[in-house]
Amino acid sequence: MKEFEQFKKIIQEKKSFILTTHVNPDADAIGAELALYYLLERNGKNVRIINHSPTPYYLEFLDHDNVIEQYSSDKHDEVIVNSDVHIFLDLNQLNRVVKMENVFRSNYKIKICIDHHQDPENFADLLIDDIQYTSTGEIIYDFIKFSRLTAIDNKVALCIYAAIMTDTGSFRFERTNSKTHLIAAELLKYDLEPREVYNQIYEQAPISRQKLLGRALNTLTLSRSGKIGYMLITQKDIKETGANESDVDGFVGYCLAMKDVKIGILFYELPNGFKMSFRSIGNISASKLASEFGGGGHFHASGARLYDADYQQYIIKVIDTAEKYVA
Ligand code: 5GP
Ligand code: MN
pLDDT band with cut points at 50, 70 and 90 for residue 107? confident
Q: What integer pLDDT is reported at residue 120 of this predicted model?
A: 96
Q: How far is the CA of 140 from the centre of ligand 2 (A)?
A: 12
Question: In the prediction, which pLDDT does 160 show?
Answer: 98
Distance 201 CA to ligand 1 centre (A): 19
Together in a domain, 131 and 254: no
Residues in the chain: 327
77 and 104 in contact (C-beta within 8 Å)? no
Give yes or no: residues 76 and 187 share one domain: yes
Probe residue for ligand 1, chosen from 20, 21, 22 as the CB with the greatest number of ligand atoms within 8 Å: 22
AA letter at 300:
H
pLDDT of 108 > 90? The answer is no
Question: Residue 304 is part of which domain span?
Answer: 207-326
Residues 141 and 55 in one domain: yes
Give ion ligand 2 contacts, CB < 5 A.
Answer: 28, 90, 135-136, 167
Whether residue 124 is predicted with pLDDT greater than 90 in this model: the reply is yes
* Ligand 1 pocket member 117 (CB < 6 A): yes
Mean pLDDT (whole number) for 16-24: 98
Q: Ligand 1 pocket check: which of 28, 59, 89, 96 to mutate, most ligand atoms within 8 Å of Cβ?
A: 96
Do 81 and 172 lie in one domain? The reply is yes
Q: 157, 178, 201 — which closes off a domain?
A: 201
Nearest CA to ligand 1 atom 2: 277
Cα–Cα distance between 86 and 100 in angstroms, integer?
Answer: 12
**Predicted pLDDT of residue 239:** 98
> In whole angstroms, what is the distance from residue 174 CA to residue 170 CA?
11
Same structural domain for residues 53 and 72? yes
Average pLDDT, the chain: 97
Whole-number Cα distances in Å, 105 to 44, 79, 94, 98: 27, 15, 8, 11
The residue among 170, 201, 232 that closes a domain is 201
Q: What is the pLDDT of residue 1?
A: 78
Average pLDDT over residues 147-163: 98
Same domain, 38 and 168: yes
Shared domain for 187 and 259, answered yes or no, is no
> What are phi and psi for residue 163, nearest 5 degrees?
-60, -50
Instruction: Pinpoint the alpha helices (H) of the chain.
Output: 2-13, 27-42, 73-81, 101-105, 136-147, 154-167, 178-187, 194-202, 207-218, 235-241, 252-256, 286-291, 315-326
Examine the fold and report which residue of 201, 231, 250 is the final residue of a domain before the chain moves on.
Answer: 201
pTM: 0.96
161 and 237: one domain? no
pLDDT higher than threshold 90 for residue 244: yes
For residue range 167-180, list pLDDT tens digits in order. Answer: 999 999 999 999 99
**Residue 43 φ then ψ, to 5°:** -100, 20
| Structural contact between residues 326 and 225, judged by C-beta atoms closer than 8 angstroms | yes
Nearest partner of 233 among 263, 279, 271, judged by Cα: 271
Residue identifier of the C-alpha nearest atom 8 of ligand 1:
302
**298 and 183 in a common domain:** no
Q: Is the CB of 298 under 6 A from ligand 1?
A: yes
Q: How many domains does the chain have?
A: 2
Please tell me whether residues 212 and 142 are part of one structural domain: no
| Residue 278 pLDDT | 98
CATH classification of the domain holding 248 = 3.10.310.30
Probe target for ligand 1 pocket from 118, 302, 306, 307, with the most ligand atoms within 8 Å of CB: 302
* Contact assessment for residue 295 and residue 303, using Cβ atoms and an 8 Å cutoff: yes
Percent of the chain residues topping a pLDDT of 70? 100
The pLDDT score that the predictor gives to residue 60 is: 97
Partnered with residue 88 across adjacent β-strands are 20, 113
Q: Are residues 190 and 228 in the same domain?
A: no
- At 81-95, the pLDDT tens digits run 999 999 999 999 999
* Cβ–Cβ under 8 Å, residues 239 and 269: no
Q: What confidence tens digit (pLDDT) does each residue in 185-223 have?
A: 999 999 999 999 999 999 999 999 999 999 999 999 999
Q: What is the distance between the alpha carbons of residues 266 and 253, in angstroms, rounded to a whole number? A: 9
The ligand minimizing its distance to the Cα of 297 is 1
| 102 and 136 housed in the same domain | yes
